[in-house]
Structure 1
C-alpha cells in the first residue's frame, strides 16, 4: 500500500469512502436516519477544486492498494482556537474492506510527517468518545488525550461527544 497527495481525480473515491466508513463506524454514535442520508456525491465539485490547490490550509492524502483508493486523511487549519504552529487532522476514513490492516495508522503517520515537513510544531484531532478503534490508532501513532472534551453538532447537526488528542512534532 502507498500513500500520496490526493488529486481532483480522487474526489469521487473520497466521497464514497467517507460514506461507507461513516455508515460502518458511526452507527453507535449518529442516528441511523442521518447516516442513511449521506450522499457520496455531495460537494464533489468543491472537493475537486480544493484538491487542485493543496495548501497547509487543506491537504488530502489517499492510500492506495494495487490502484484502488482505500482510505484518506485530511489535514488543515484548525477549526477552533489552539496554539500557534498547530495543524488539525480533520479526517481519517478507511474503506471498511480495508479495516484492521494498518492503513489508518499508515495514513496518520503520513499526515504527521507531512505536517512536520510543513513546519508545524503540533498536530491535533477530535475523536468521538468511545470510538475505540480510532482512539487506539491515534495512541499507536503517538497522540495523547489532552483532557479537553466538547459536545459538537457542527459537522453532522447531531451532538457528538469528542475528545481532543495532540502530538508534538
Structure 2
C-alpha cells in the first residue's frame, strides 16, 4: 500500500468530487435525510472544485491523499472562519472514501493537515464535527482533539445539523 499526502491539483477535481460525495453518503446516512444525501452529485461537486481552484480569495490549503496513485481523501485547512483568539487555525474538512476507512490513511492525512496549521504559525487548532457522527468524533478524540464545549447549528449544506467544536494545542507554547 503506497500512500502519498500532497497538495491537491486541479486535475484531481473529479476524484475529489467523488470522494467527497461517497464520504458524506456513508458518514451521514441516518443523520441527514436520505433524499438529501442521494441528491449529492459528484459531477457538480467536481465542477465547483474546478471553478474555485484558482479563486484568488481562496485562503486555505487542500491536501489530497493518494493510495496507489488514486485520490482517496482530502483535507482543507487554514485561517479560522469564526471569532477565535489569535493563534488559532481551523481544519475545515477531512474526508476519506469509505472504502479506505480504518486503514491509517485518515490519520496520516489528519497529521499532515495539523503540520500545515503548525507550519503556518497557528498554536491552536479547531474543527467542527457533526455531533451525531460518533465515528468522526471518536477519530478526532484519538488524535487528541476533544470537544471544548462550543456548539452551533450548521445550515450551510441543507438540513440543519448540530456541530461540536473540537480543539487542541498544536505547539508547546501558549
What is the TM-score normalised by the length of structure 2? 0.88
Q: 1:57 aligns with which of 51, 54, 59?
A: 59
Asked whether 1:11 is paired with 2:13, we answer yes
1:91 is matched with which residue? 93
**For residues 56 and 87 of structure 1, what CA distance do their matches in structure 2 show?**
15
2:126 is matched with which residue? 124
Cα pair 2:78 2:117 within 8 Å, conserved: no
**For residues 107 and 57 of structure 2, what CA distance do their matches in structure 1 show?**
22
* 14-23 or 132-141, which deviates more: 132-141
C-alpha change, 1:164 and 1:116, in structure 2 (3 Å) is same
Q: Which segments of 5 or more consecutive residues in structure 2 lack a partner in the other structure?
A: none
* Structure 1 residue 83: Cα displacement: 1.6
1:161 is matched with which residue? 162
Cα pair 1:127 1:134 within 8 Å, conserved: yes
Query: After superposition, where does 1:21-60 map in structure 2 within 5 Å?
Result: 21-52=23-54, 57-60=59-62
C-alpha change, 1:67 and 1:55, in structure 2 (3 Å) is farther
C-alpha change, 1:116 and 1:65, in structure 2 (3 Å) is same
* Structure 1 residue 25: Cα displacement: 0.9
* 142-151 or 42-51, which deviates more: 42-51
**For residues 88 and 48 of structure 1, what CA distance do their matches in structure 2 show?**
23
Q: Which segments of 5 or more consecutive residues in structure 1 lack a partner in the other structure?
A: none
1:114 is matched with which residue? 116
4+ residue segments displaced more than 3 Å: 43-46, 49-56
1:140 is matched with which residue? 142
**For residues 77 and 86 of structure 1, what CA distance do their matches in structure 2 show?**
8
Kindly tell me the number of residue pairs found equivalent between the two proteins: 168
